[in-house]
Structure 1
């Protein structure tokens, strides 16, 4: 049986008729040559099984092709149509989860037939799914060859909501607020029956009416979650599944206010519920819980004033601990107050939302996350002790948006569009201003407002939202912390900013420039010590104890007098050496290659010497590998040729100091350079490195 990927490869072979190269298949499906060859072998076996004289022609140089007549094409397409798509274990469990949410039970034998698996395999799937359901406080029941989902309705809806979030992006759902209908791309999936029959116009109109009557404007991320919550609620109600025995406190009775009479009636009709029924009361309380927990653009009322007082205390505690004052302080307090107003409701009703930028926050601002967590633990009167770590991340986003920023000169007009709230928008704005001081920020806009922006409003939209519909202004999607790739992309569009690719190169260049200047005017008694002192001073590592140089590499990471075709081969060999030492992931090679390929890099630190390196999450620990070449080669787009390449992976700013110092000493010694360039014996170089360590102590 062919997998869905193998069917796509076969469809391409049918359409193109000419040879399809392995390189084209690799690019299209991101597969290794070995996997592609295995797929082609399985396709060939499948073709032989169905008969009719089908033959797959494979060529070592040109790839693979199918030569078919019209009748053969028709027979083959019919055979492919009849074959069910292969589902992996993960896909089967996902499909079972969907079926359990849409049906009261599913039949065991029908599952085995549909998935074309044995009863033992299905039992394994069942056991794994049973474990996964425990996260939602749900159980699976298997009786009379029927499987059903058992547990509280509220927990089933949480499962349903998370399921939909995995299928549809924020941007796809936010489009519904503009188009008022399910898009063709959403209906193309095999999951369209999950929400395709939901009254999209009715749900969107109801949410907007709640905003209008309450005077609350929800952020885009909350509109996304509110729509999916309403869709789940509608779907479950239509299946006869209602919230029962819901504990309603006074805060969940917001729709009993007379001003919400029309909204309540619209909700009743939308959900198909009877007036004045217990079911209506419970379902209104359920959606009220999610409305209270939805993040908003502004706050109001006594509760908001209480949150404002708490926000001010958090900001003051943060400032005192770090001994600086936040810029735009009052705006940050107001924005944080607004966020806390909904966050405390989420905490109260155990509603969890993911922070989409938390992994990046952990990397860039982990210090502040731990700091705020400690503040919360030391101040139980704040009432935040059970706050989820992702919620703490949102607080840090607001605080870090106020870190001091540089002045800027107006130039390109940039509009910021972010769906995750004011804190993320301000953090993105601050990052753009800091790295590109020449731009002018025209403002922060919602996804809906972005569709109305024209070239009169901005030259470019910088956004965290992956827009698929055409906007009137050019846009670029980024991470709010602006990754290296994001910075490079923006440089190509708006010009070079203050980006330095997170490398040591500016420090190395500064050290070498100062050394040459000193050497012109005085006698240097100990060149090595001068280099070391200058480097440690400019890298901020005065007095730091660095690792011994041999502890950062291994003889297997040293390659001497190699013959290579180009710099890519060098990079691949060096990166593989570091992978074997568990220093980096394979992806480090790709990241470094992208810098060399796509920008005017500055990795050549001296004539004939390249020093590629950057900060990356692919780095596990500090280490380096290097290679000398038989013949110099061009390095990237530059015309300069190099014969010595050092690939460095630095986990922090201290451990790798010795490696950089050693490189500087060699680079600035003609005798050492000549010795290294002509040496073929790795043991000799390793001995020299040990002697360098001994002399540095």
Structure 2
């Protein structure tokens, strides 16, 4: 599609009509619907067909019958009909895509206080009753995610039922989830009719400022919509029950801001908020408040448990990063309320984090499991995404501090020790931090904490990892030190992660389960328990499928004992369906990271991110015919 070949609104409406009907429509019928004459319809059809020619789609014209769509490539057609997500987010335009139709039905039913007949929905959406019956199955599934049900009564139709709080959360989900603006849009204002969203926004901003309650722009937009929903429901005599919001945690700032918002909204809309509705507004204020300090220990205790589990599973130790710990604890304070009351939270960064920062997302998943256990509540992926942002910050800081803490042991005097120290600092200034220089006796009698030791004399196996060098640091000595520095030795040296024994090309069709089993078998010799390894991989997939994008999936165990860090690779000529969304993988990397080798882990994920972000690279890997070709492709990566 070129910039000049853009469907004007009238053409889109014409196509919507034909797509909904999927049968002949007369020129007069289309002209009446679009408020033009038949000659304009004929002209539009001719122009549209010229544009559609490239995709093999067309509008068939038959004298005496009218016009009908003939689709050879429905995906391309839908791309023309709704090329941008913003165009599909319209609360009043009748949707043509099945997924949008389900959201429309949910919104439509939420607006009704009584039952709605399926015939009415079919007429509203210009589809058959059988199509509506099919959509209703998806509607029920989506409502169940919000603890709501769809009751059905003969001769009356269907109705959404559940607690008022859950109905409102569902309402906001299908009102806000696809919104592309942080400002109040015209569509949203039109949806709420006489409820003035911009005046509500003014009241909220003034109240938050007066009581020093800080919120993000997204949170403020979310609060505006929730206040508007509350006003609409109260006007319809639909109230929140006090018992639905017990054990809410809040501070005095949040309470005073909520009270001020309610007083002014009552005056603006000429309604009365009962006590339970104050609690409802307070819930949204305290669950979105960006705190600057905390006064409790529970969050710190939870954070410490998260970090202990991350250290156990991945080897990363963030216990000394006090700013990160404080930030994560501050994040948890409002998050606990959101989780406790099953509030839906939209995370616009989620897909970007999963795709581009998979390691941070993995750490977020570990943190989620700890938090879910503490609160005895399920936690959404959106919340995981926000946790991952904090871990991304911690990882970024860690990457700045990758210097190895090294002890020097020199048995031949201070002059030799200083010479060795000077040479090491000059060559490894960015990689090594020398924390002390000692004699052999001092070293053996002390209790030192270092990543490894550089010594001019043999130390023996019992005293930990060390590199023996000459005081003059020869080329061989330098190479031996480099072997202790993964950030140097691993650059474009992918043989340390990959090998031909862990490489497979599948020409035939395989299921996801078959691929996982096949790759897990590669680790039989390096895993202490191969069966447990496979089960752990499947357990991780059950949490969140490991598809990242560009046809790449990265399955791995939650925790496994392996003797070396390896990546098993499968290139599937036939795409493998990897998740419920229907995403298909053709490049599968199964990771097995040896415990305490997080330097490798970080580097592996950086490499994986480059594959995901580079379609051309992923395409080349899919076409690789052997292991050597595969390695040559990866060797071009910048790591």
Tell me the TM-score normalized by structure 1: 0.47
Number of residue pairs aligned between Structure 1 and Structure 2: 403
Instruction: Choose which of 206, 225, 229 in structure 2 pairs with 1:209.
Output: 206
2:175 and 2:140 map into 1 onto residues whose CA distance is 19
Is 1:175–2:186 an aligned residue pair? no
Q: Is 1:616 matched up with 2:612?
A: yes
**Which residue does 1:648 correspond to in 2?**
621
The alpha-carbon distance between structure 1 residues 322 and 548, as it changes in their structure 2 partners (threshold 3 A), is closer
Report if aligned partners of 1:553, 1:623 keep a CA contact under 8 Å in 2. Answer: no
Do 1:293 and 1:342's aligned partners in 2 also have CA atoms closer than 8 Å?
Answer: yes
Q: Does 1:96 align with 2:69?
A: no
Structure-to-structure mapping, 1:506-585, within 5 angstroms:
538-542=492-496, 544-546=498-500, 551=505, 581-582=574-575
CA distance in 1, matches of 2:379, 2:348: 17
> How much is the aligned-residue C-alpha RMSD, in angstroms?
5.2
Q: Are 1:129 and 2:139 counterparts?
A: yes
Correspondences of 1:23-34 after superposition (within 5 Å):
24-25=51-52, 33-34=55-56
1:359-370 matches, cutoff 5 A: 359-370=351-362
Q: Distance in 1 between matches of 2:305 and 2:68?
A: 74
How far apart, CA to CA, are the structure 1 residues paired with 2:97 and 2:103? 10
**Residue 140 (1) aligns with residue 140 (2):** no
Deviation at 1:351, TM superposition (A): 1.7
**Cα deviation 1:207-237 (Å, max 9, x = unaligned):** 2233224322101221122122112112212
Cα 1:199–1:369 shift into 2, 3 Å? same
**Residue 415 (structure 2) aligns with:** none
> What is the rounded CA distance, in whole Å, between the counterparts of 1:648 and 1:311 in structure 2?
40
Distance 1:226 1:323 in 2: 40
The structure-2 alpha-carbon separation of the partners of 1:338 and 1:197, relative to structure 1 and needing over 3 Å to count, comes to farther
- Please say if 1:49 is aligned against 2:65: yes
CA deviations 1:434-464 (Å, max 9, x no partner) are xxxxxxxxxxxxxxxxxxxxxxxxxxxxxxx
Give the secondary-structure state (helix, strand or coil) at the position aligned to 2:333. helix
Q: Secondary structure at the match of 2:283?
A: helix
Q: How far did residue 253 of structure 1 move?
A: 8.0
Please report how far the alpha carbon of residue 285 of structure 1 lies from its aligned counterpart in structure 2 after TM superposition: 0.8
Cα distance in 2 between the residues matched to 1:365 and 1:311: 21
Tell me how far 1:204 sits from its aligned partner: 1.0
- Displacement of 1:20 after TM fit? 3.9
Check the 8 A contact 1:373/1:392 in 2, yes or no: yes
Residue 236 of structure 1 corresponds to which residue in structure 2? 233
Assess if the C-alpha contact under 8 Å between 2:143 and 2:150 holds in 1.
Answer: yes
Of 205-214 and 310-319, more deviation after overlay is shown by: 310-319
The unaligned stretches of length 5 or more in structure 2 are: 1-12, 21-29, 70-92, 401-488, 509-570, 585-608, 635-639
2:331 is aligned to 339
Does the CA contact (< 8 Å) of 1:253 and 1:285 recur in 2? Answer: no
Partner of 2:16: 4
Per-residue deviation at 1:281? 0.4
Greater shift after overlay, 203-212 or 90-99?
A: 90-99
Is the 1:536–1:657 Cα contact (8 Å) retained in structure 2? Answer: no
Shift of 1:382: 6.0
CA deviation after TM superposition for structure 1 residue 283, in Å: 0.8
Deviations 1:542-573 (A, max 9, x none): 3842259894679xxxxxxxxxxxxxxxxxxx
Residues 378, 197 of structure 1: CA spacing in aligned structure 2 closer, same or farther, 3 A cutoff? closer
Q: Structure 1 pair 247/390, CA: closer, same or farther in 2 (3 Å)?
A: closer
Match of 2:299 in 1: 307
- Asked if structure 1 preserves the Cα contact closer than 8 Å seen for 2:223 and 2:284, the reply is yes
Contact 2:208/2:257, CA 8 A, preserved across alignment: no
Q: Which residue of 1 aligns with 2:264?
A: 266
The match for 1:289 is 283
Structure 1 residues 260 and 195, CA gap change in structure 2 (3 angstroms): closer
CA distance, structure 1, for counterparts of residue 150 and residue 106 of structure 2: 12
- Does the 8 Å CA contact 1:583/1:623 hold for their aligned counterparts? no
CA spacing shift, 1:265–1:365, aligned 2, 3 Å: same
Counterparts of 1:317-332 in structure 2, within 5 Å, are 329-332=321-324
Task: Give per-residue Cα distances to partners, 1:18-74, cap 9 Å, x unaligned.
Answer: 974867447xxxxx622x22xx21xx24x7436xxx999xxxxxxxxxxxxxxxxxx
- In structure 2, relative to structure 1, the CA distance for the partners of 1:361 and 1:230 (3 Å cut) is same
- How has the CA–CA distance of structure 1 residues 327 and 203 changed in structure 2, closer, same or farther, with 3 Å as cutoff? farther
CA distance in 2, matches of 1:18, 1:231: 43
Query: Is the aligned partner of 1:659 residue 2:632?
Result: no
**1:540 positional shift:** 2.9
- Separation in 2 of the partners of 1:153 and 1:112? 27
Q: Deviations over 1:396-447 (max 9, x none)?
A: 211221334689xxxxxxxxxxxxxxxxxxxxxxxxxxxxxxxxxxxxxxxx
Determine the C-alpha separation between the residues in 2 that align with 1:122 and 1:543: 52
In the aligned structure 1, how far is the partner of 2:274 from the partner of 2:577? 57
Q: How many angstroms does 1:587 deviate by?
A: 11
Classify 1:140/1:2 alpha carbon distance in 2 versus 1 (closer, same or farther; 3 Å): farther
Asked if structure 1 preserves the Cα contact closer than 8 Å seen for 2:364 and 2:384, the reply is: yes
Deviation of 1:660 (Å):
4.5
- Once the 2 structures are TM-superposed, how far is the Cα of residue 302 of structure 1 from its aligned partner? 2.0
